[in-house]
Structure 1
Amino acid sequence: MQWTDRIRQTKILLVIAAVIIAVTSLLISHFLVKDLSNEERKKMEVWAQALHALNHADENTDLSLVLDVMQGNTTIPVIVLNDKGGIDDYRNIQDTLHLDQIAQRMLKAGDTIVVGSQIVCYDESVLLKRLSQYPYWQLGVVMIFVVVAIFALLSSKKAEQNKVWVGLSKETAHQLGTPISSLMAWVEILKENHPDDDLIPEMDKDVKRLERIAERFSKIGSLPEPTPGSMNEVIAHVVDYMRRRTSNKVEITTQIPDHDVVVNMNASLFEWVIENLCKNAVDAMEGAGKISIQLIDDDHRVAIEITDTGKGIRKKDINHVFTPGFTTKQRGWGLGLSLARRIVEDYHKGKIFVKSSEVGKGTTFRVELHK
């Protein structure tokens, strides 16, 4: 949970930083654009006065300054309308075929200056338009940066996390190897000395099961080759084990097709997935309830649904149940469902997810494999 909280806090900090940068950029750009807009307004007022002076000049008027002002506007689009709505002049407009439409748009926008009998309509310069659009482009770049940063963070953490889980699994298998070998030897001695004892075969089964568990842990991190196997047998083995190892208050039922459902899989690992889901169901029911295992054989895929009558999962926790370290138990590492997803999705290219869950009524997990 601590690792999950740190990742969540880091993502929140990145998003907050992006929002602060975006808001600051928008505010600064807004005030800058506003100041430049006012400056352009003043320039156009001077330009309009120069136009008025040019229109009312006589032979004694010095037009050098007026012409300098008129020719000095090389960026702001301008259209001059007469009192009848006709176009007397225009500057810095490339689309000369639609001058009337452009003039009407300028009039509606209110960017006009009335000088005598003429109306000077103007639009923002290209530089001002680009500057007003700049913060939105910057916002997009910041958001892309945040997404890439979060993705890189999650990827690096996931890679580091996988190394930890793989190392832990292999070390567990290694540590189990010696005592299991010793137990197997003791069981053989007991068989020779007490051949009629009914408990020894059960002990033998448990030791062999420990051996299979060690084998499963040793395969974590490698890519075992899937081979055709019977899903019916996998479920039967799990059900047989769970019935002998759980309370009589837990009822386990199965819905399995009459025909043999063959799937490419690693039977040992996949059996562990179903077993883990069943054990979680028993824990969720606190040792009393019903577990239903349904095997569905479609044309292109095989699905296993495991339903329990336990306490259910809160909606806010459903998206985190497969996160390593997440657990609602007082005692638990939160690795079971994480490893189950790794086995299903990474090794078998399938899917595992919470199909439905309701607090106080139960949960259904669904596992899907391609044929």
Structure 2
Amino acid sequence: MVLFNQIRQVKIVLVAMAVLIAGASLVVSHFLVRDLAMEEQKKMEVWAEAMRSLNNADEETDLNLVLQVIDGNNTIPVIVVDAKGEVQTSRNTDCDDSASLRALAKRWKQAGQVIRIDLDSGDYLEVCYDDSVMIKRLSTYPYVQLGVVLLFVVIAIFALLTSKKAEQNKVWVGLSKETAHQLGTPISSLMAWVEILKESYPDDTLIPEMDKDVKRLQLIADRFSKIGSLPEPVDSSLKEVMEHVISYMERRTSRKVVMVRDFPEEDIVVKLNQSLFEWVIENLCKNAVDAMEGSGTITIRMEKAGQKAVIEVSDTGKGIRKKDIRDVFRPGFTTKKRGWGLGLSLAKRIVEEYHNGQIYVKHSEVGVGTTFRIELRTG
């Protein structure tokens, strides 16, 4: 749980940094664009004044400076129309025909980007203009930068989670194999002692039960040894597997826990690694018993849906809060006072990576119970 809180904090910091960078970029760009727009407006006022001087000029007027100002505008799109709306001239636009220029001038005028020129003859001209290409690029740049920053954050978070997952996988695999190795020697010794006891006390009824428990330990060690490898699944009777698990759980749980079977008449055959898959069902049943605090009903339903075999394990326990449902399969997450929070994580890995299936919480309601659903391919 602590590990995932740390990862969550890192993700929050990365997102906060991205928002801060994007926000600062937007603010700076806004002021920059505003200042440039004001500067361009002043340039257009000078340009409009040059146009007024050109239209009011007589034979004695020196037009060198006026023409220099008019020809100096190479960036700001501008269209000059008369009082009747006819286009007089245009610069820095992609339009050639009069109709398109008039429509463009009308749009700029409606946006408030227009300067009126009063002529000496009593007539007037209107200088309609748009933002230059530079301002438009600067206006879109922050959003491009925001996208790049968000992409960087997503990649960073993905890399962080991937590295953490790989590290966790190595730790779990190492712990599992070391556990299996450490259990091997005492289990072998116990098996030998059980055989001696069988020969010495052939009529003792407790020795067969001891033998079953020793074999159970051997099965557990075998499961741990297979974690991290890819054991070859074989065609297995799903009904037999489920019956074996349920029988084992019934002998080792309180009589207040009722195990209900809801199986179809026809058997379902799927490719399984039986020992590992049995561990998944056992884990779900043990979690159900803990959730019910030793009293309630566990219903195990099995059916074939198309090309899938479906197993559902339902309990009448305390349920899972909605905000915790998405975290139940995360390593380290647990609502128990004692526990490592690895059971459901390993169950998910066994179902999805070893059996190409899917496991998820189908439904859960606080105070009512929880249903886990497993889907396996039958083809």
TM-score by length of 2: 0.97
Question: Which residue does the alignment assign to 2:114?
Answer: 112
1:16 and 2:16 are equivalent in the alignment: yes
User: Which letter does structure 2 place at the counterpart of 1:114?
Assistant: R
Q: Which residue of 1 aligns with 2:266?
A: 259
Residue 60 of structure 1 and its aligned partner are, at CA, apart by 1.5
CA distance in 2, matches of 1:173, 1:220: 10
Question: Deviation at 1:298?
Answer: 2.0
Equivalent residue for 1:225?
232
What letter matches 1:44 in structure 2?
M
> Match of 2:300, SS?
strand
Taking the TM superposition and a 5 Å limit, the aligned residue runs for 1:1-371 are 1-97=1-97, 98-116=100-118, 117-371=124-378
Q: Which amino acid aligns with 2:38?
A: N
User: Unpaired runs of 5+ in structure 2?
Assistant: 119-123
Displacement after TM superposition at 1:94 (Å): 1.3
**In 2, Cα distance between equivalents of 1:20 and 1:14:** 10
Task: Give the letter aligned to residue 5 of structure 1.
Answer: N
**Is the Cα–Cα contact under 8 Å of residues 317 and 368 in structure 2 kept in the other structure?**
yes
* Matched letter for residue 271 of structure 1: E
Amino acid at match of 1:182: S
Question: In the aligned structure 1, how far is the partner of 2:38 from the partner of 2:327?
Answer: 54
Number of matched pairs: 371
The amino acid across from 1:157 in the alignment is: K
**Aligned-residue offset at 1:86:** 1.0
Whichever residue aligns with residue 42 of structure 2, its letter is K
Instruction: Give the corresponding residue for 2:121.
Output: none
CA RMSD of aligned residues (A): 0.7
Distance 2:265 2:210 in 1: 33
CA distance in 2, matches of 1:110, 1:328: 62
Q: Give the C-alpha shift of residue 219 in structure 1.
A: 0.2
Note the C-alpha offset of 1:346. Answer: 0.6
| TM-score of the aligned structures, taking structure 1 as reference length | 0.99
Please state how far the C-alpha of 1:296 moved relative to its aligned partner: 1.1
Are the counterparts in 1 of residues 81 and 127 from structure 2 also a CA contact under 8 Å? Answer: yes
Write the distance in 1 (CA, Å) between the matches of 2:149 and 2:283: 43
How far 1:258 moved relative to its partner? 1.7
**Is the 2:232–2:273 Cα contact (8 Å) retained in structure 1?**
yes
Alpha-carbon offset, residue 299 of structure 1: 2.3
Q: Secondary structure at the match of 1:55?
A: helix
Counterparts of 1:360 and 1:299 in 2: how far apart (Å)?
33
**Structure 1 segments of 4+ aligned residues over 3 angstroms from their partners:** none
Q: Deviations over 1:88-125 (max 9, x none)?
A: 11111112231111011111111000111111000001
In structure 2, the residue corresponding to 1:96 is in which secondary structure? coil
> 1:230-255 deviations in whole A, cap 9, x for unaligned?
11111111111011001111000101
Give per-residue Cα distances to partners, 1:313-354, cap 9 Å, x unaligned: 111111111111111111111110010000000111100011
Q: Distance in 2 between matches of 1:43 and 1:192?
A: 109
In the alignment, the residues of structure 2 paired with residue 148 and residue 222 of structure 1 have an alpha-carbon distance, to the nearest angstrom, of 29
Q: Tell me the percent identity.
A: 66
Report if aligned partners of 2:85, 2:102 keep a CA contact under 8 Å in 1.
no
> Residue by residue, what CA displacement relative to the aligned partner does 1:198-234 show, whole Å, maximum 9, x if unpaired?
1111111110011000000000000001110111111
Write out per-residue CA displacement over residues 39-58 of structure 1, whole angstroms, 9 at most, x where no aligned residue. 00000000000011111111
CA-to-aligned-CA distance 1:32-85 (integer Å, 9 cap, x gap): 000000000000000000011111111211111111100000011111111111
